[in-house]
Amino acid sequence: MPVIEIVSWNAKDNTADKDMIAALNNLVPDLKNLPGFLEQSTGKDANGRWVDVYYWDSVENAHASNELMANKSSLTALMALLEPDSVTIQVIEPLQTSVNS
């Protein structure tokens, strides 16, 4: 089962959704070059908090991705749009899935 990484944050005031989505889309080519990257999707909760869900082939690759992305200009551009102190990251090893149930 793929490992799940959940990253959430608050956007800076006056950040348009289209700008955040453009910055996230610019991350995708860099993500696709990372070991173990499978998939990514983004949403926003009812309070306006952004949530990015990543799927990885291993816990190790999920954790390593943060360091590997740290120097990428695509991540720097995204970070300029969000409140850095609001960022949370969780790496979750799934115990159940509907895929093979």
- Asked if the structure places residue 100 within a domain, the reply is no
Q: Is the pTM here over 0.75, yes or no?
A: yes
Q: What is the total count of domains within the chain?
A: 1
- Contacts with 4 (C-beta within 8 Å, 6 or more apart), sequence order: 53, 54, 55, 56, 91, 92, 94
pLDDT in tens, 27-52: 999 999 999 999 999 999 999 999 99
Report the CATH number that the domain containing residue 86 is assigned in CATH. 3.30.70.100
pLDDT of 100: 67
- Asked if the structure places residue 59 within a domain, the reply is yes
Q: Rounded mean pLDDT of 59-83?
A: 97
Q: Which residue segment(s) compose the domain that 52 sits in? A: 3-92
Nearest-CA neighbor of 64 among 20, 33, 85?
33
Q: Answer yes or no: is pLDDT of 101 > 70.
A: no
